[in-house]
A and B are shown apart, each in its own frame.
Chain A
């Protein structure tokens, strides 16, 4: 159990386009989802916390108009990178935490999305 999927796994786009990444909890309901980005050989940096039915909370330095997050249901959160530029190229990972008091507030991670902006 506790499977999280992401789609797409890899995307290449031209500069200026917008890219939407989906994060789904497949076998549990996730009240909270988190979005991270990871640069090569670096650790995960939390971008924002997404709660179902409410606005996302962004970490300091993350532009909310640049990275639009929608958590429309208990199983789906989306991250849209608007007007993407080469510096937005990164590995984006989502995680989800369940409704119930699961194991130690554990977050379950998706497989990640590799975004390359040309």
Chain B
């Protein structure tokens, strides 16, 4: 079966660092995406990993371990505007995106 797990909610303080974990079990793997979604809006692309390791892009980094079925999204120097849902999605061999439950992050001043 297909299963993608993320924590439901997280809180953090402005300026801090937060790590959002994602574990997956899917039939086929063609890369893992992280999206940010504000309430009532469409998801926006943050990162993509297909090989093991860390991808860094500004304040956001994403890590992948295919052997462990594990990824994380790291957000540094948190800002209030980073309060949103963060969606982990695995691209299956059929090129379909399978989304995790999403993690709602609240950043407090």
Chain A residues packing against B (C-beta within 8 Å): 32, 34, 41-46, 49, 91, 93, 95, 97, 103-112, 114
Contact = CB atoms under 8 A, between A and B. Distances in A.
Q: Is the interface of A mostly helix, strand, loop or mixed?
A: strand
Interface stretch (B56-64, B74-82, B90-98): B90-98
28 contacts: A32-B95, A34-B96, A34-B97, A41-B104, A42-B101, A43-B87, A43-B99, A43-B102, A44-B43, A44-B87, A44-B89, A44-B97, A44-B99, A45-B99, A49-B96, A93-B42, A104-B31, A105-B91, A105-B95, A106-B45, A107-B97, A108-B45, A109-B35, A109-B43, A109-B44, A112-B40, A112-B41, A112-B42
Interface of B: 30-31, 33, 35, 40-45, 48, 50, 87, 89, 91, 95-102, 104
A3 to B, nearest CB: 11
Q: Which of A42, A93, A104, A112 has the most CB of B within 10 A?
A: A104
A58 B87 CA distance: 22
